[in-house]
């Protein structure tokens, strides 16, 4: 009889970062914040959104609302985890589509 030991192999971690200009008319208000959280929550990545000196989780509606990220603001989105690049691609699409507001 042999002992079988299974070890979990950690997925490859990756890190990605992008700067994004907010071009939708009202910036990150409640609806875009909810869309961001919904999108970010689909991924196994830690997502941080930064405006100025404020860093918040991309999976927190309240955090995103504290950014006061209005039209014309520049934010930095970072992601770390096995699907970091995919997460950033999807988040960037939301901004490019102006959260379907226009």
What pTM does this model have? 0.85
pLDDT at 13: 74
Which three-class secondary structure string do you get for the chain?
Answer: CCCCCCCCCCCCCEEEEEEEECCCCCCCCHHHHHHHHHHHCCCCCEEEEEECCEEEECCCHHHHHHCCCCCCCEEEEEEEECCHHHHHHHHHHHHHCHHHCC
pLDDT one-digit tens code per residue, 35-90: 999 999 999 999 999 999 999 999 999 999 999 999 999 999 999 999 999 999 99
Question: Is 2 inside any structural domain?
Answer: no
Instruction: Verify whether residue 29 is a known catalytic residue.
Output: yes
Catalytic residue, chosen from 29, 48, 50, 60, is 29
Question: Is 48 inside any structural domain?
Answer: yes
User: How many domains does the chain fold into?
Assistant: 1
Res 19 pLDDT > 80? yes
Question: Is 6 inside any structural domain?
Answer: no
Structural domain boundaries enclosing 74:
14-100
């Amino acid at each position: 009889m042999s002992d079988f030991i299974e070890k979990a192999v950690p997925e490859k971690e990756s890190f990605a970062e992008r700067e994004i200009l907010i071009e939708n008319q009202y910036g990150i208000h409640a609806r875009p914040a909810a869309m961001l959280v919904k999108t970010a929550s689909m991924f196994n990545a830690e997502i941080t959104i930064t405006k100025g000196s404020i860093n918040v989780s991309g999976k927190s509606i309240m955090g995103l609302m504290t950014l006061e990220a209005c039209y014309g603001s520049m934010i930095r989105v970072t992601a770390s985890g096995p699907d970091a690049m995919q997460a950033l691609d999807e988040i960037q699409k939301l901004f490019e589509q102006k959260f379907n507001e226009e």
